[in-house]
């Protein structure tokens, strides 16, 4: 059983030419970046004499200082930890230089791109011609970081074979690895040398640290020992770089999730935004073999299990609305701390891989829509459902329902899986600046908060502004975060 992305969506992207020149300075590069670095040395006969491969992190202070933390391999030593530091200069055209003075002595040409989110370097130290690239790290790789590596990854890379420190040939590796998200993985790979392919099964343990790096020591099915050093190279753990080495062979490789990363399969139930479900709101989880049959909750408090299926977030049960083989709807527990969380599905005979999900601390609203279509779930002033046949009228106060509302000031206890308090309103807390627009015209908002006697549902009460009749765009914005555009039917 695995958690995978199960939505079928069409996302139109429009490419536009850049109309202004970039302007860079030292502050353009700031924070932690993943880094992959390789080096080569040719002897006087133009034969490959020495190679170097390393990966880890580069930390730029935004003021001209840089530090590398790397795990490196060469044709003599494997798994060497390196701490390097130096300075960098970045000019207004986003090019510059980088010099390492501590831990090694090396000079590089530096280019940054993608508004400082990525960089490349090429240069030389006393032994190697070096080149590398890096990109901004994920926001957090602290608690629950092992769950960032989850699901099936395709692996490929190139390397070389050594004998007594001499490089005898180049080779390649290709395979597939299955990560549980809980610190273990298994799979298989093929090592290709001089046209001969040698398959092997592999399995092992891994630990992701706060710098989004992981290490593993494994023995393959042929009895060969390997040391692996990983660095996560994309948000959510969908991609990684890995160096694979022993005393005879070394590879510089990359892994790519064969599905969209597992965390992208856990979404706000109304908006389908990944990692868009604050505590207390409703999320949908998509995958395969999630439940033996379709089962829905029949009472409140919601159950922790349906049809033999249960879901946990950081080990805490998530109450269930609905389960099927490919989808689960559940409530994010009220007491889950914002940040990186681990989501696991368990059935009577299997446990899923662990998915890494970011739980936001503030609102990320998603308006419920009527299926099929994009018509918002809105109650008219007479409590009828808003449709093109039963529209609202200008000046009416209506109620739109959504989830992902974030923290509230409750009128009673907030109990996960139970009805929201009915004793009175539970408005959003803090300075959230809620705003509703209908057809682009701002509406008067009378209330935004939890809906009494429902589970995980919020509502916004607003007055239909002066707009022309017809189906009009409806957008809810809370704390600067806008919902996806839905529609509402309006009459004069």
Calpha distance 171→152 (Å, rounded): 24
Contact 159, 252 (CB under 8 A): yes
Encode 159-181: b = buried (16+ Cβ within 10 Å), e = exposed.
Answer: bbbbeeeebeeebbbebebbbbb
pLDDT tens digits for range 157-173: 999 998 888 888 889 99
Side-chain-side CA neighbours of 17 within 13 Å: the count stands at 1
Calpha distance 357→318 (Å, rounded): 14
- 89's tokens: 């200069």
- 209's tokens: 């640290």
Q: Mapped to the 3 state alphabet, what secondary structure does the chain carry?
A: CEECCCCCCCCCCCCCCCCCCCCCCHHHCEEEEEEEEEEEEECCCCCEEEEEEEEEEEEEECCCEEEEEEEEEECCCCCEEEEEEEEEEECCCCEEEEEEEECCCEEEEEEEECCCCEEEEEEECCCCEEEEEEEECCCCCCCCHHHHCEEEEEEEEEEEEEECCEEEEEEEEEEEEEEECCCEEEEEEEEEECCEEEEEEEEEECEECCCCEEEEEEECCCCCEEEEEEEECCHHHCEEEEEEECCCEEEEEEEEECCCCHHHHEEECCCCCECCCCCCCEEEEEEECCCCCCEECCCCCCCCEECCEEEEECCEECCEEEECCCEEEEECCCCCCCEEEEEEEECCCCECCCEEEEECCCCCCEECECCCCCEECEECCCCCECCCCCCEECCCEEEEEEECCCCECCCCCCCCCCCCCCCCCEEECCCCCCEEEECCEECEEEEEEECCCCCCCEEEEEECCCCCCEEEEEEEEECCEECCCEEEEEEC
Q: Report, in angstroms and rounded to the nearest whole number, the Rg of the chain calculated over CA atoms.
A: 27
pLDDT at 407: 95
Side-chain-side CA neighbours of 97 within 13 Å: the count stands at 5
pLDDT at 234: 84
Contact 291, 328 (CB under 8 A): yes
Residue 138 pLDDT level (bands cut at 50, 70, 90):
low
pLDDT tens digits for range 362-397: 999 999 999 888 999 999 999 999 999 999 999 999
- Using alpha carbons only, give the angle 44, 48, 49 rounded to the nearest 5 degrees: 75
- Say whether pLDDT at 19 is over 50: no
Q: Which of 189, 186, 183, 187 is nearest to 148 (CA)?
A: 183
Calpha distance 207→218 (Å, rounded): 13
Burial class (CB in 10 A: 0-12, 13-18, 19+), 328: buried
Backbone angle region of 470, left / alpha / beta, with phi > 0 → left and psi within -120 to 50 → alpha: left
- pTM, whole model, 2 decimals? 0.73
- Using alpha carbons only, give the angle 309, 312, 316 rounded to the nearest 5 degrees: 130
* Mean pLDDT, the chain, whole residue set: 90
pLDDT tens digits for range 423-454: 788 999 977 889 999 999 999 999 999 999 99
pLDDT at 235: 75
Contact 484, 477 (CB under 8 A): no
Q: Distance from first CA to last CA of the chain, Å, rounded?
A: 53
pLDDT tens digits for range 265-318: 899 999 999 889 999 999 999 988 999 999 999 999 999 999 999 999 999 999
pLDDT at 5: 34
pLDDT tens digits for range 30-74: 999 999 999 998 877 777 788 999 999 999 999 999 999 999 998
pLDDT at 23: 86
Percent of the chain with pLDDT over 90: 74
- Say whether pLDDT at 4 is over 50: no
Could you tell me the domains of the chain?
26-136 (2.40.128.120), 261-359 (2.60.40.10), 366-491 (2.60.40.10)
Q: Once rounded to an integer, what is the mean pLDDT over residues 170-181?
A: 93
pLDDT tens digits for range 185-213: 999 999 998 878 899 999 999 999 888 89
Residue 7 pLDDT level (bands cut at 50, 70, 90):
very low
Residues 6 or more apart whose Cβ sits within 8 Å of residue 13 = none
pLDDT at 16: 36
- Say whether pLDDT at 480 is over 70: yes
């Amino acid at each position: 059983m695995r958690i995978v992305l199960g939505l079928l969506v069409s996302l139109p992207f429009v490419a536009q030419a850049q109309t202004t020149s970039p302007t860079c300075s030292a502050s353009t590069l700031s924070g932690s970046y993943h880094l992959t670095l390789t080096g080569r040395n040719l002897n006087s006969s133009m034969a490959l004499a020495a190679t170097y491969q390393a990966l880890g992190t580069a930390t730029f202070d935004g003021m001209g200082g840089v530090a590398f933390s790397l795990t490196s391999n060469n044709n003599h030593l494997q798994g060497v930890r390196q701490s390097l530091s130096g300075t960098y200069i970045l000019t207004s055209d986003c090019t510059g230089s980088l010099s390492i003075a501590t831990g090694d002595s090396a000079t590089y040409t530096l280019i940054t791109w993608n508004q400082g989110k990525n960089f490349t370097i090429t240069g030389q130290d006393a032994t190697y011609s070096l080149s590398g690239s890096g990109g901004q790290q994920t926001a957090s790789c602290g608690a629950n970081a092992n769950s960032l590596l989850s699901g099936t990854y395709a692996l490929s890379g190139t390397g070389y074979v050594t004998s007594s420190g001499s490089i005898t040939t180049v080779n390649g590796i290709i395979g597939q690895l299955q990560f549980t998200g809980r610190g273990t993985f298994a799979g298989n790979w093929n090592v290709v040398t001089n046209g001969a392919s040698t398959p092997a099964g592999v399995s092992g343990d891994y630990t992701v640290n706060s710098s989004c790096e992981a290490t593993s020591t494994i023995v393959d099915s042929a009895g060969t020992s390997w040391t692996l050093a990983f660095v996560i190279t994309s948000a959510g753990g969908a991609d990684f770089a890995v160096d694979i080495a022993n005393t005879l062979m070394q590879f510089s490789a990359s892994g790519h999730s064969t599905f969209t990363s597992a965390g992208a399969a856990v979404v706000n139930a109304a908006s389908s935004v990944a990692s868009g479900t604050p505590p207390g709101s409703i999320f949908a989880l998509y995958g395969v073999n999630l439940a033996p049959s379709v089962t829905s909750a029949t009472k409140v408090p919601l159950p922790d299990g349906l049809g033999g299926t249960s879901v946990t977030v950081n080990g805490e049960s998530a109450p269930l609305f609905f389960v099927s083989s490919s989808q689960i709807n559940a409530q994010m527990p009220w007491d889950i701390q914002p940040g990186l969380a681990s989501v696991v599905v368990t059935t009577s005979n299997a446990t899923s891989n662990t998915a890494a999900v970011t739980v936001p601390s503030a609102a990320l609203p998603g308006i419920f829509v009527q299926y099929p279509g994009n018509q918002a779930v809105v109650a008219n002033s007479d409590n009828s459902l808003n449709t093109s046949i039963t529209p609202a009228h200008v000046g009416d106060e209506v109620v739109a329902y959504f989830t992902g509302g974030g923290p509230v000031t409750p009128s009673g206890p907030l109990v996960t899986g139970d009805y929201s308090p009915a004793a009175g309103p539970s408005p959003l807390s803090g300075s959230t600046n809620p705003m509703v627009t209908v057809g682009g015209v701002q509406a008067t908002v009378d209330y935004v908060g939890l809906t009494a006697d429902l589970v995980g549902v919020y509502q916004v009460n607003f007055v239909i502004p002066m707009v022309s009749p017809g189906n009009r765009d409806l957008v809810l914005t809370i704390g600067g975060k806008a919902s996806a555009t839905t529609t509402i039917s309006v009459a004069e």
